[in-house]
Amino acid sequence: MAIDYKKELENTARNMIFVHDPNLLIKMVVRMMVDKAKIAHVSFFLHNKEKQGYLLTVSRGSLNKKIPMDLVCIDKDDVLIRFFREHKSSFIFGREALLLDEAKSVLKGNKLKPEGKQQLAQVLYQMELLEAVVCIPSYFRDELLGLLLLGKKDSGKKFMDEELDFFVALNSNLAMAIRNAQLFKELEYELDRKHQLFIRTTIALAAAIEAKDHYTHGHTSRVTNLSMEIARRMGIKAKKNFDGKFLENLHISSLLHDIGKIGVPEHILNKRGSLTVGERNRIKEHPLIGVNILKSIKELSGAVTGVRYHHERFDGKGYPEGLKGDQIPLIASIITVADSFDAMSTDRSYRAALNKTDAIKEIEHLSGEQFSPQVTDTFLELCREGKI
């Protein structure tokens, strides 16, 4: 059955838009060429910056078993690469496609100078090594992104002009799609790199808090781990896992929940014995100090609620705003339980730690008063299972 090349080109170009992986794009096109155009084998060499050459990225068909993937690399200064980088194919043959038989005929004539014949002979030798009868370059603007090598047709017949025009047009679309996919990957990498830097900066800020408050060493990491454990279990119980943004905000918020303590004098934070009313009020300022520190960082806007409200109480007797019940954001309610449990079960400057069992009982006793019943129930469930 005859191939409708125009339709195939349109369909393939349409599908390329949705693929953001260069290798997957190449595989898609190579598979289509082998299966629909009935070519014995098709290979694609893609430019690789690290190897400073063109790496065999995809090979499909009879040659696939002979050539190891990702090990064959054509150097950027190789004669085959230079031939296409200098657009010699277009100059000699009038199109960006090199046919083995056509090139052999040119070698027998007088069209080329001796140095040109020598270069073309070396190029054809490379093609024969790779069992290619057609070689089509992939250009993005004037940059050679890759080479598409075609083996013989299964029928043994020569490629028609209509087929070659289709392959050249398809390869041109592929080059654009590959470059777009590469840019997408580079953007993803850059965003991930910035995100990792952001998380590490957040952890460094959390460490700065603990360096100031000697009695809370390890407190931040424990509160964060417990908060995340509670949230994951709550998501499972509700049969609807929290989305990644909620969990990320909770993670950052729990890491930074006490960042406002940077603005509280050390002699108050580390005071042995009871605090005066004035000193207690200074400590109560730390949630809003934390908000003021973080509010200018737009990436932290979703995490600020946990910092602001982690000392609110379910019965409305907390601070800084006296929120009650469901008025308190879930992020803050989760951190409140994790923060309070860790505070109860570790030594502080003003009192010794409760043992773990007594701390759990205290959390249970204060459910519905200080703590959200929903969060407390999940916390107690994790305790019974030995997860805490």
Strand, helix or coil for residue 338: helix
**Residues comprising the chain, all counted:** 388
Q: Note the pLDDT tens digit of each residue in 175-195.
A: 888 888 888 888 778 878 877
| CATH architecture group of domain 213-384 | Orthogonal Bundle (1.10)
Looking at CATH, the fold of the domain delimited by 5-185 is given as Beta-Lactamase (3.30.450)
Give the residue from 321, 341, 338, 342 showing the smallest Cα distance to 330: 338
**Is the peptide bond prior to 320 cis by the omega test (within 30 degrees of 0)?**
yes
The runs of H, that is alpha helices, within 37-160 are 79-85, 88-93, 100-108, 114-129
DSSP class of residue 97 equals -
Distance of alpha carbon 222 from alpha carbon 261, whole angstroms: 17
DSSP class of residue 275 equals P
Q: Report domain extents, the chain.
A: 5-185, 213-384
Q: Note the pLDDT tens digit of each residue in 292-309.
A: 988 888 878 888 999 999
Q: Note the pLDDT tens digit of each residue in 250-286.
A: 999 999 999 888 888 888 887 877 888 998 999 899 9
Distances (CA, A) of 368 to 234, 311, 323, 326, 363: 17, 15, 13, 11, 10
Contacting residues for 89 by C-beta, under 8 A, at least 6 apart: 83, 95, 96, 97, 98, 135, 137
Contacting residues for 350 by C-beta, under 8 A, at least 6 apart: 271, 272, 273, 274, 275
What pTM was computed for the model? 0.58
Listed range (7-21, 107-121, 374-388) with the worst mean pLDDT: 7-21
